[in-house]
Amino acid sequence: MPTHNNAKTVGETVQAIRVGLLKYFPRERVVIVNADGGSKDSTREVIAAASINDLQRSSELYALRTLHCISTIYGDDPATEVALRTILAAAELLRAKACAIVSPESTNVTPDWIEHLLRPVYRDDFDLVTPLYRRHKFDGLLLRNLVYPMTRALYAKRLREPYAVEFAFSGRLGSHLLEQQVWDHGAGGVGTEMRVTLAAMAGAFRLGQTFLGTKQHLDRSSADLVPAMRQTVGTLFSSLEPNFQLWSTNHATEPIPTFGAEHDLTVEPIRVNRRRLYQQFGSGVAELEPVLKSILSPQTLAEVQGIAKLTEDDFRFSHELWVRTAYEFAASYYKSVINRDHIIQALAPLYRGKVYTFLLENRDASGQEVEANVEALCLTFERLKPYLLDLWNA
């Protein structure tokens, strides 16, 4: 468990992990490893104070083995990359057969999560198990409108959550990751979780996904669009160059073995300021014209500028235009036509336009209809993959 100033939530999370381990893996040798990025609050004290006796008093759990909990500080600055590497190194030293990463910012971790994540790795020899969450139909829109469809089209794996803050991996994958140069990818240490998933997809590893339930996060960083795009889209774009041989030759997408529901969308009404998204798209396209000129082809730019002139009611960012836009951004990122971080930032206003269309089209849609819409987008990404290859080789 990587932590940094998580005293508010970490106590309950640690207890849930302990209960999960004792309940589902009572005979196994287990250890909880906490890699802390120099917390200024009482995170480490809370973890150390979470005693096994508390559990035994309040439940019917009995430990057959000693349950160790190790907490270490890897530095004064929080860095997920260093935290994960620390945990991976510890897992390798301990020759762990299976290892699960749990985000301390998840506020609703239950003991079942530990079982759902670890069992496929421990019992069924999977190498990476990523989570599936019950989400609102308008939650995780960057994943659904760009990261998942593009990853699926290029890596030919239908993995729903390529950016997972909770996941489990085998000792084999852990050792492979430690040997790989996934830790310094020129992305400033962001998007490490995504790089782990992409490395597993690029290698010959068994992938699985498991349904965990509702996702409730206190993850403040994920609320901001540009950092979220750096973590996911930036990482995906940067992975394309070293994995060119893989994604340029694979074709049919493979389904991933799934434990539990593949998708579970809730549709209760929520307040969304659609107009603001529309305005941000319009002003972004107008203001960023000189930047977009160096990234997009003249035809795509003209089409984007064309839809920016439409009224709110007529506005529609089609799947095809969005896919061409994303692919042209990926090719420009590869060719470094301008600073790579600037390319990612320039994509944010266009993404807002796509989100506006998504919200408008799925305003009254059921969960199945939303899924059908996402599937149509995925198929467009797959159909236009040769377009990315043409851009790449041009």
Partner 1 sequence: MHESEVNMWEMIVGELNHAMQELARNFAHLLPRLLATLIVALLGWVIAYALKVVVRGILRIAKFDKLSDNAGATQILNKLALPSSSELLSRVVFWVVLLGFILLGVQVLEIVGLQEYISRFFLYLPRLFVALFIIFFGLVAANFFSRAALLAAVNADSPSPGLLATLIRTIIVIFAVTMAFEQLGLAERTILIAFAIAFGALMLGLAIAFGMGGRDLAKQFLERRFLKEKEDQKQDELSPL
Residues of this chain that interact with partner 1 (CB under 8 A) are: 138-143, 163, 217, 219, 222-223, 225-226, 228-229, 231-232, 270-273, 276, 280, 283-284, 287-288, 291, 294, 337-339, 342, 345-346, 348-349, 355
Burial class (CB in 10 A: 0-12, 13-18, 19+), 351: buried
Nearer to partner 1, 172 or 342 (CB): 342
Nearer to partner 1, 27 or 271 (CB): 271
Nearest distance from residue 145's CB to partner 1, in Å?
9
Nearest distance from residue 22's CB to partner 1, in Å?
31
Q: Which residues pair with 213 in a beta bridge?
A: 133
| Helix residue ranges per DSSP H, 97-222 | 111-122, 141-142, 148-155, 171-179, 192-202
Nearer to partner 1, 13 or 332 (CB): 332
Nearest distance from residue 338's CB to partner 1, in Å?
6
CA–CA distances in Å: residue 145 to residues 18, 137, 233, 351: 36, 12, 11, 8
Contact in structure between 196 and 178 (CB atoms under 8 Å): no
Nearer to partner 1, 126 or 334 (CB): 334
Nearest distance from residue 362's CB to partner 1, in Å?
12
Integer Cα distance of 220 and 107 in angstroms? 13
Nearest distance from residue 226's CB to partner 1, in Å?
5
Integer Cα distance of 178 and 166 in angstroms? 19
Nearer to partner 1, 139 or 371 (CB): 139
Nearest distance from residue 197's CB to partner 1, in Å?
13
Closest to 329 (Cα-Cα) out of 221, 238, 225: 238
Rg (CA), the chain: 22
Nearer to partner 1, 228 or 384 (CB): 228
- Characterize 166-175 residue by residue with b for buried, 16 or more Cβ atoms within 10 angstroms of its Cβ, and e for exposed: bbbbbbebbe
